[in-house]
């Protein structure tokens, strides 16, 4: 038995999948099997099953620590998956062999552990996200790869949200998406506003279709399926801006997705107050919403043993009966999701193996992630204190708006007030109405238009 264990825990360098953790020597963890999913604009998660000679490994010694999977490719190179251990468990021990399990998550997952409430003013989404990431020191590793400048938002509120939920919400509503790029040292969050320049898989840019019923030595796609789903064919929106109340800025646009001889069902949506200030901004919003719909119109799924596959990269499909006669553009596909499964043969006479399931679209179709994270909804009014310069009794701007400070704002938060807020009056109109401006220091009641935390309105004085 001792000889068997000694052979079992020999160096991993001849194994298909190698695991590196902070555990060393007698506590070394060997990977028995793993499974996990990577997707565009989603956090990857891998479940690891491991064995060790030590059943007394302290669980908290692994939590939050870096770990790495190295999957050996047919070329002898390795495809790396880096992350941090977010969960670690002892599953049992038979006296000579202990079984452990762990969850491998990206550094971005750590943001789910912190919840905050704060206000950002006159900043781009990129600037806000950089501020959020800055609180995590050296942990974040990220890049913004944008094709055009982002617009400046006058007022953005994080309200009782985790930093992760807040960041994901901002990215989705701005039309941005992301993927994780891994190397031997780290994993990097790549944030983009377009998919047209995404590059081929660095270790396997071209993948052959080869039926599973035929022996094949190279990594290949063994199953390939095409899917069509009827989608809405048009989108129209409009908004309301009190600075130009007669212009609701209606914008409509048909889908570019060809769906055959079917009606172009319309999605009509009245977006948030002040969602777009110009027709150009409205067209950008509609185009982004349509692209998220169009992505679902035609997708492709498959199975493979291609160890180099991961989302955010493209590949050329070759030797498939339904695509080989098409243009190079039509044979280029963007990976959206890859579900991995692999195992070593420490405790089995079977060969080590790897397989995956994947979802992709044609690369020529612009990718846009759908909006899945809603803004925090305020079910009722909140009270706040009117603020202004010291020595002033009333502080307003040219539109008779005031500034307030919510009770949930931290004492060290800057700026001290919110943005300028409109004040509801008993009556108002052109040349008539009431006017009573809340005084600095008074408590006021603030409601939120359509429950939107980013659209506050002062309705009364308490």
**For residue 12, what pLDDT band results from cuts at 50, 70 and 90?**
low
Q: Give the strand order in the sheet containing 187-192.
A: 142-145, 187-192, 177-182
The owner of tokens 């490994």 is: 57
* pLDDT of res. 1: 44
Structural domain boundaries in the chain: 2-106, 110-192, 234-294, 382-461
**For residue 361, what pLDDT band results from cuts at 50, 70 and 90?**
very high
What are 174's two structure tokens? Answer: 């701005």
CATH of the domain spanning 110-192: 3.55.50.10
What are 45's two structure tokens? Answer: 């998660």
C-beta contacts of 124-128 below 8 A and 24+ residues apart: 124/149, 124/150, 124/151, 124/152, 124/153, 125/150, 125/153, 125/170, 125/171, 125/174, 125/176, 126/150, 128/153, 128/156, 128/170
* pLDDT of res. 216: 62
Rg of the chain (C-alpha set):
27
Q: Is the pLDDT of residue 3 over 50?
A: no
* pLDDT of res. 43: 99
pLDDT digits (tens, 9 = 90+) for 121-162: 999 999 999 999 999 999 999 999 999 999 999 899 999 999
Give percent of the chain with pLDDT exceeding 90. Answer: 63
**Measured between alpha carbons, how far is 293 from 233 in angstroms, rounded to an integer?**
9
Q: Residue 314's beta-bridge partner residues?
A: 200, 334
Give the C-alpha distances (Å, rounded to integers) separating 382 from 115, 368, 462: 19, 35, 11
Residue 347, judged by CB atoms within 10 A of its CB (0-12, 13-18, 19+), counts as middle
* pLDDT of res. 214: 56
**Measured between alpha carbons, how far is 143 from 150 in angstroms, rounded to an integer?**
15
CATH of the domain spanning 2-106: 2.30.110.50
The owner of tokens 């719909």 is: 293
**Measured between alpha carbons, how far is 255 from 268 in angstroms, rounded to an integer?**
13
* pLDDT of res. 187: 98
pLDDT digits (tens, 9 = 90+) for 153-188: 989 999 999 999 999 999 999 999 999 999 999 999
* pLDDT of res. 303: 97
Arithmetic mean of pLDDT, 227-231: 92
Backbone angles phi, psi at 253, to 5 degrees: -155, 135
pLDDT digits (tens, 9 = 90+) for 441-456: 999 999 998 888 988 9
Chain centroid to Cα 449, Å, comes to: 27
Which residues, in sequence order, are CB contacts of 122 under 8 Å at separation 6+?
152, 153, 154
pLDDT digits (tens, 9 = 90+) for 279-306: 788 888 899 999 999 999 999 999 999 9
CATH architecture of 382-461: Beta Barrel (2.40)
What are 38's two structure tokens? Answer: 């990577």
* pLDDT of res. 105: 99
**For residue 230, what pLDDT band results from cuts at 50, 70 and 90?**
very high
Strand 428-429 relative to strand 221-228: parallel, antiparallel, unpaired?
A: unpaired
Residue 126, judged by CB atoms within 10 A of its CB (0-12, 13-18, 19+), counts as middle
Lowest mean pLDDT across 40-54, 303-317, 443-457: 443-457
Give the C-alpha distances (Å, rounded to integers) separating 112 from 43, 106, 131, 301, 366: 11, 11, 16, 31, 29
**For residue 8, what pLDDT band results from cuts at 50, 70 and 90?**
low
Lowest mean pLDDT across 1-10, 224-233, 370-379: 1-10
Backbone angles phi, psi at 171, to 5 degrees: -60, -45
pLDDT digits (tens, 9 = 90+) for 202-220: 999 999 998 765 556 679 9
DSSP state of 43: -
* pLDDT of res. 15: 82
The backbone region for 146, taken as left when phi is positive above 0, alpha when psi lies in -120 to 50, beta otherwise, is beta
**Are 309 and 356 within 8 A, CB to CB?**
yes
Q: What is the mean pLDDT of the chain?
A: 89
Helices (H), 367-420: none
State yes or no: cis peptide before 415, omega within 30 of 0.
yes
The answer to whether 2-106 and 382-461 have equal CATH topology is no
Among 16, 83, 91, residue whose Cα is nearest residue 52: 91
**For residue 94, what pLDDT band results from cuts at 50, 70 and 90?**
confident
């Amino acid at each position: 038995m001792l000889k068997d264990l000694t052979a079992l825990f020999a160096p991993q360098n001849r194994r298909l999948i190698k695991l590196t953790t902070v555990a060393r020597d007698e506590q070394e963890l060997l990977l028995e099997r793993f499974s996990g999913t990577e997707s565009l604009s989603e956090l990857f998660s891998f479940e690891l099953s491991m064995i060790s000679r030590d059943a007394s490994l302290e669980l908290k010694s692994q939590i939050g620590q870096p770990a790495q999977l190295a999957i050996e490719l047919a070329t002898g190179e390795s495809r790396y998956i880096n992350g941090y251990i977010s969960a670690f468990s002892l599953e049992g021990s038979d006296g000579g062999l202990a079984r452990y399990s762990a969850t491998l998550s990206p550094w971005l997952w750590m943001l789910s552990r912190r919840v905050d409430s704060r206000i950002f003013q006159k900043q781009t989404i990129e600037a806000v996200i950089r501020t959020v990431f800055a609180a995590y020191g050296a942990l974040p590793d990220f890049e913004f790869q944008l094709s055009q400048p982002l617009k400046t938002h006058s007022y953005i509120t994080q309200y009782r949200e985790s930093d992760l939920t807040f960041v994901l919400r901002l990215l989705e509503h701005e039309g941005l998406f992301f993927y994780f790029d891994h190397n031997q040292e780290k994993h990097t969050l790549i944030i983009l506003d377009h998919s047209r320049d995404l590059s081929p898989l660095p270790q396997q840019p071209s993948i052959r279709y080869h039926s599973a019923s035929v022996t094949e030595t190279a990594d290949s796609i063994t199953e390939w399926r095409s899917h069509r789903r009827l989608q809405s064919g048009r989108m129209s929106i409009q908004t309301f801006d009190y600075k130009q109340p007669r212009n609701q800025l209606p914008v409509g646009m048909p889908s570019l997705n060809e769906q055959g001889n079917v009606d172009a069902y319309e999605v009509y949506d009245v977006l948030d107050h002040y969602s777009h200030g110009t027709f150009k901004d409205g067209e950008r919003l509609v185009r982004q919403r349509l692209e998220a719909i169009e992505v679902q119109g035609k997708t492709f799924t498959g199975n493979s043993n291609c160890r180099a596959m991961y989302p955010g990269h493209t590949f050329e499909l070759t030797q498939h009966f339904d695509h080989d006669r098409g243009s190079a553009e039509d044979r280029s596909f963007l990976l959206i999701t890859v579900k991995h499964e692999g195992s070593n043969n420490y405790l089995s006479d079977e060969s080590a193996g790897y397989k995956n399931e994947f979802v992709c679209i044609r690369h020529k179709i612009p990718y846009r992630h759908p909006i899945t994270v809603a803004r925090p909804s305020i079910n009722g009014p909140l009270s706040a204190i009117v603020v202004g310069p010291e020595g002033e009794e009333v502080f307003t701007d040219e539109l008779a708006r005031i500034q307030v400070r919510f009770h949930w704002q931290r004492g060290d938060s800057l700026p001290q007030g919110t943005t300028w807020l409109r004040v509801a009056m008993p009556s108002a109109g052109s040349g008539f109405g009431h006017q009573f401006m809340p005084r600095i220091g008074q408590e006021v009641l603030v409601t939120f238009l359509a429950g939107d935390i980013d659209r506050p309105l002062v309705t009364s004085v308490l």
